[in-house]
Amino acid sequence: MAILVHAVLDGITTDQYDTLNARLQSTPEIFEGCISHACVPTGSGLEIFDLWESEAQMEAFADKMMPIAVGLGWPEGARPRVAEVHRYWVPGAAG
């Protein structure tokens, strides 16, 4: 079942996000199961919104991503909010 993930990253800058993202992009298979991703700057940091094919795939990503993020100085932080998705669609996609 697809899930929506919402993470609030207080104190994280867009520069820190871009550095982490560049590191993660060097191993694109890490994103297996990620349907969409958005990073939104806020007054206090960033908010991340992801749509994943399954919670297991999101957890596999987090298990690989977090050590890299912590190595770049990110705090371990709180767990993101996860919600089961009833339905999603992508404009222009068949289905």
Residue 87: DSSP 8-state: -
pLDDT at 77 over 80: no
* pLDDT tens digit sequence for 29-72: 999 999 999 999 999 999 999 999 999 999 999 999 999 999 99
pLDDT band with cut points at 50, 70 and 90 for residue 90: confident
Q: What percent of the chain has pLDDT over 90?
A: 86
CA distances from 79 to 8, 52, 59, 62, 88 (A): 9, 16, 11, 10, 23
**How far is it, in rounded angstroms, from Cα 56 to Cα 34?**
11
Complete domains list, the chain, with CATH: 3-84 (3.30.70.100)
pLDDT at 21 over 80: yes
**How far is it, in rounded angstroms, from Cα 28 to Cα 41?**
23
CA-CA-CA-CA torsion sign (82, 88, 90, 95)? positive
pLDDT at 95 over 70: no
